[in-house]
């Protein structure tokens, strides 16, 4: 990790950003509700949530464009809550990139260094390094309007990192790109983060981007933090129904009761019967407790009609959603409702046509049990 030293020569581990009970009210509406969050040095953290969840407002408060109603923001040990944006030393990439249209690529990247009154020779050296890092050689004299979306994105990144910010903020920077370019920029963002070791806060509503890029994901809804976890944990152990259904596809089973009889743990669904946990039941299991089980489509397996067995229910095929490598099949099961199953290939489209009855085996080993109130 020698490249880390390029940006942060002497950084010991610790917290880079401390958000302490930060709140933002818009009139009587709550934009951000008492959010507390600690972001470690060098961490890549994603604020994820639907539009209007408060993620952009929170980012705006870190950058200094939005004044918190209450709470405190500490960066690198210094309270910056009331500091003007231009004194914060925080890099930012905007959704629209916000490149200066009257300047060329070089001057855009040099802007922050010139504002810091660095000697010209040093400005040139730093700009050249940022240009090399973002593979923008040869574009220095171009007007920003003449660049493609991907190139503009790289200029925006170069401009933000060249000032050696304490934190790098990315506000939905990939949303303006087409699908292929977005995948490529994800790889480049990852690489940039690895090379610079910059503490990065990334805002997105795209769970795919969040899962692939982040060390930790902060899921937000209605101004409040729903869960803070690493991508794998978030996917396998969502803290509540919102997180469960926001991250990936998931089947929400109707409320049922946990039962433990003769050493066998099961979930009793009214009108359906008991579904048996194959091994030790999932976290959240307690005899007598009312729960809702959430089950990913890959843990629901279609079985041949008539094949009986534990945890097999039968329903009517409603639709197939063919997606190339796999097919999502929607089945309506009496007493449960709509259940999605996900299988490799497309054979199921022919073997279980729409309207046919289909057996589904539930693998409860990966089920997530949540309080009925969540």
Partner 1 sequence: MRSQKIGTVAFWSLVVALLTYMTLPTIVVLMTSVNPTEILAFPPQGVSFDWYVKAVTYPDFRIAFKNGLIVTACASTLALIVGSAFAWLIHHYDFRGRGLLEGVLWSPLIIPHFTLGFGFLLLGGAFGVQQGYVMIVLAHMVLVMPFVTRAVHVSLANIDPALARAAANLGASPFQVLTRITLPLVVPGMAGGWLIAAVLSLTEFTASLYVTGSRTQTLPVAMYNYIREYADPTVSAISALLIIATTLIMLVADRTIGLRRVLAIDTH
18 DSSP β-pair partners:
38, 74
- Burial of 161-191, coded b for 16+ CB within 10 Å and e otherwise, reads bbbbbbbbbbbbbbeebeeeebeebbeebee
* Nearest distance, CB of residue 118 and partner 1, angstroms: 11
Q: What is the DSSP letter of 255?
A: P
Strand 200-204 to 44-48 pairing = parallel
Q: Which stretch binds partner 1 (CB under 8 A): 44-52, 91-99, 238-246, 279-287?
A: 91-99
Determine the Cα angle at 12 with ends 10 and 15, to 5°: 125
Nearer to partner 1, 24 or 216 (CB): 24
Binding test (CB under 8 A) with partner 1, winner from 84, 137, 178, 262: 84
Which of 5, 67, 79, 100 forms a contact with partner 1 (CB under 8 A)? Answer: 100
Nearest Cα to Cα of residue 148 among 156, 195, 168, 106: 156
Nearer to partner 1, 134 or 250 (CB): 134
Residue 288, interface with partner 1 (CB under 8 A)? no
- Choice from 102, 119, 306, 350 touching partner 1 (CB under 8 A): 102
Strand ranges of the sheet holding 337-344, from the earlier edge strand across to the other edge: 300-303, 357-362, 312-322, 326-333, 337-344
In whole angstroms, what is the distance from residue 282 CA to residue 180 CA? 38
Reduce the secondary structure of 304-352 to three states and give it as a string: CCCCCCCCEEEEEEEEEEECCCEEEEEEEECCCEEEEEEEECCHHHHHC
Instruction: Considering only the stretches 80-88, 203-211, 237-245, 365-373, report the one whose residues sit in contact with partner 1 under the rule CB under 8 A.
Output: 80-88
- What is the contact mask toward partner 1 in residues 161 to 180, using x (rule: CB under 8 A)? --x-----------------
CA–CA separation, 217 vs 232, rounded Å? 10
Structure tokens at 101: 């249209």
- Under the binding rule (CB under 8 A), the answer on residue 85 touching partner 1 is yes
Among 26, 50, 116, 120, binds partner 1 (CB under 8 A): 116
Segment interacting with partner 1 (CB under 8 A) among 10-18, 112-120, 235-243, 342-350: 112-120
Residue closer to partner 1 by CB (options 100, 322) is 100
Q: Provide the minimum distance between the beta carbon of 97 and partner 1 in the complex, in angstroms, as a whole number.
A: 8
SS3 content of the chain, % helix, strand, coil (to 5): 30, 35, 35
The answer to whether 328 touches 340, Cβ cutoff 8 Å, is yes
Q: How far is the CB of 197 from partner 1 (least distance, A)?
A: 21
158 touching partner 1, by CB under 8 A: no
SS3 64: coil
How near is the Cβ of 144 to partner 1 at its closest, in Å? 11
Identified binder of partner 1 from the candidate list 31, 42, 112, 197, rule CB under 8 A: 112
Nearest to partner 1 of 101, 288 (CB atom): 101
Closest separation between CB of residue 353 and partner 1, Å?
50
Of 371, 286, 372, 358, which is closest to residue 327 (Cα–Cα)?
A: 358
Q: Would you state the structure tokens that stand for residue 145, as one six-digit string? A: 């309007």
- Does 7 bind partner 1 (CB under 8 A)? Our answer is no
Coil, strand or helix at 82: coil
Lay out the site mask for partner 1 across 35-74 (x = CB under 8 A, - = otherwise): ----------------------------xxx---------
Q: Could you say whether residue 95 binds partner 1 (CB under 8 A)?
A: yes
What mask of x and - would describe binding to partner 1 in positions 188 to 227, judged by CB under 8 A?
A: ----------------------------------------
Closest CB 92 distance from partner 1, rounded Å: 5
**Alpha helix segments (H runs only) across the chain:** 4-7, 55-63, 105-115, 120-133, 149-161, 179-196, 207-213, 231-236, 241-246, 347-351
List of residues contacting partner 1 (CB under 8 A):
63-65, 84-92, 94-96, 98-102, 111-112, 115-116, 159-160, 163
């Amino acid at each position: 990790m020698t490249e880390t030293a390029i940006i942060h020569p002497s950084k010991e581990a610790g917290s880079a950003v401390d958000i302490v009970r930060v709140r933002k009210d818009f009139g009587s509406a709550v934009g951000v509700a008492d959010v507390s969050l600690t972001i470690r040095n060098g961490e890549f953290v994603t604020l994820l949530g639907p539009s209007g969840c408060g993620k952009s407002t929170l980012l705006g408060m870190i950058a200094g464009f939005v004044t918190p109603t209450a709470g405190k923001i500490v960066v690198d040990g210094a309270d910056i809550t009331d500091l003007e944006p231009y004194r914060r030393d925080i890099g930012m990439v905007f959704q629209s990139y916000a490149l200066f249209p009257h300047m060329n690529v070089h001057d855009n990247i040099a802007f922050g260094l010139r504002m810091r009154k660095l000697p010209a020779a040093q400005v040139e050296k730093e700009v050249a390094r940022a240009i090399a890092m973002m593979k923008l050689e040869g574009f220095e004299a171009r007007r920003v309007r003449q660049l493609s979306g991907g190139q503009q994105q790289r200029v925006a990144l170069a401009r933000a990192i060249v000032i050696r910010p304490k934190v790098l903020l990315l506000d939905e920077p990939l949303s303006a790109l087409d699908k292929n370019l977005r995948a490529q920029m994800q790889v480049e963002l990852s690489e940039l983060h690895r090379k610079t070791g910059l503490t990065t806060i990334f805002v997105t509503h795209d769970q795919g981007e969040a899962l692939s890029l982040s060390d930790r994901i902060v899921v937000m809804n209605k101004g409040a933090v729903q869960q803070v976890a690493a991508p794998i944990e978030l996917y396998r152990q969502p803290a509540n129904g919102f997180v469960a259904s926001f991250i990936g596809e998931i089947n929400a089973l109707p409320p049922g009761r946990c039962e433990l009889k003769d050493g066998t743990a099961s979930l009793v669904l009214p009108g359906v019967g008991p579904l048996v946990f194959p091994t030790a039941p999932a976290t959240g299991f307690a005899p007598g407790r009312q729960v809702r089980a959430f089950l990913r489509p890959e843990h629901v397996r279609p079985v041949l009609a008539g094949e009986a067995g534990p945890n097999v229910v039968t329903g009517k095929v409603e639709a197939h959603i063919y997606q190339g490598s796999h097919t999502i099949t929607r089945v309506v099961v009496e007493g449960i409702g709509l259940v999605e199953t996900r299988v490799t290939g497309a054979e199921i489209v022919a073997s279980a046509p729409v309207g046919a009855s289909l057996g589904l085996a539930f693998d409860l080993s990966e089920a997530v049990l949540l309080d009925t109130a969540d």
